[in-house]
Amino acid sequence: MATMPQHYIDPMELASICGISIVKATLVFTGTMLVYDYVITFEREVKLAWMRRWKWGKIVFMLNRYLPFLDTFLVIWLRMRPNSTSECMFGFKVYTWLTLFGILIAEIVLTSRTYALWAVKRSAFLALATLALVLYVPAIFITNLEVRSIGFVGTATGCVKTAPASRLVFVLFILLLVSETILLGMTVVAVWKTRPRPRLIVTMYRDGLIYYLPQRVFHSLFCSRILLHIWEEAIPNEEVISTTLVGHDMSFAQVRSGDTGMQSELPSNVEATPPTSLEPFLEENERLRT
């Protein structure tokens, strides 16, 4: 059997490099979109929000507006610079809780809008309060499990995940999907029962649909990926391509069943840029082996 050439690269190492590159590219894109949206809406924010008194609505708006800057750039900082393992673990725990808090703030905004559409009726309040309890309590419990189960290690190129999150994480997406579907249904019923329909009611209904439809698709995609990942992990003695989703930190890496880590370093004598596809490298490796 022919010996491996000096510059042979294991496919698993290439997959790890691609996974890390995808994560970093996604983070840069997310941060860019956040800053871009802030810039183009800043004038409206000053005019419509800053001049208001500090009441419940303004507090929720400010939290929903500015918290994403904290958690988004925190995870970028963790992923793209050298950090110690203790810094990685602490940083990602903070990031996970901030992400949950941000999601709950967004749900409060949607719930308040739905409550207003129902003309602050007692029946609507009871229904929405029950829905909030069903969502918030399990979300906090599952996030606590996630924080305890994940593992990260510090490297020269940023924090790298070494242990997966709890498999209950996908339940969060199901809860969000169910919650927002119910909110959409209540919105449709409230608008349908309103005669005549003022422009404010129509605007709230339109924005509700615009928010729900993309969320519906993304929740479905993320839930499907998490379930596929779980099923792949359950396949014994078979090499698979694994997709892992934690909160909104997505990473792709090739792993073997039972392997909770991710190889992230190239051999010292290899210099390579992350490829966009592994197929050419896999074909070349197969040719060299034969």
User: pLDDT at position 107, please?
Assistant: 82
Domain count, the chain: 1
Range of the domain at 42: 11-258
What's the CATH number where 132 sits?
1.20.1070.10
Q: What is the mean pLDDT of each run of 10 residues along the chain (290 residues)?
A: 50 48 77 87 85 83 86 86 86 88 82 79 87 87 83 81 71 80 81 64 57 55 52 50 41 42 41 43 48
Token pair for 287: 């040719």
Cα distance between residue 102 and residue 100, in whole Å: 5
**Could you tell me if residue 274 is inside a domain?**
no
User: pLDDT at position 235, please?
Assistant: 56
- Look up tokens 């892992």; give the residue: 244
44, 271 contact by CB (below 8 A): no
**Could you tell me if residue 3 is inside a domain?**
no
**Could you tell me if residue 277 is inside a domain?**
no
**Could you tell me if residue 288 is inside a domain?**
no
**Could you tell me if residue 278 is inside a domain?**
no
CA distances from 101 to 18, 79, 88 (A): 30, 21, 20
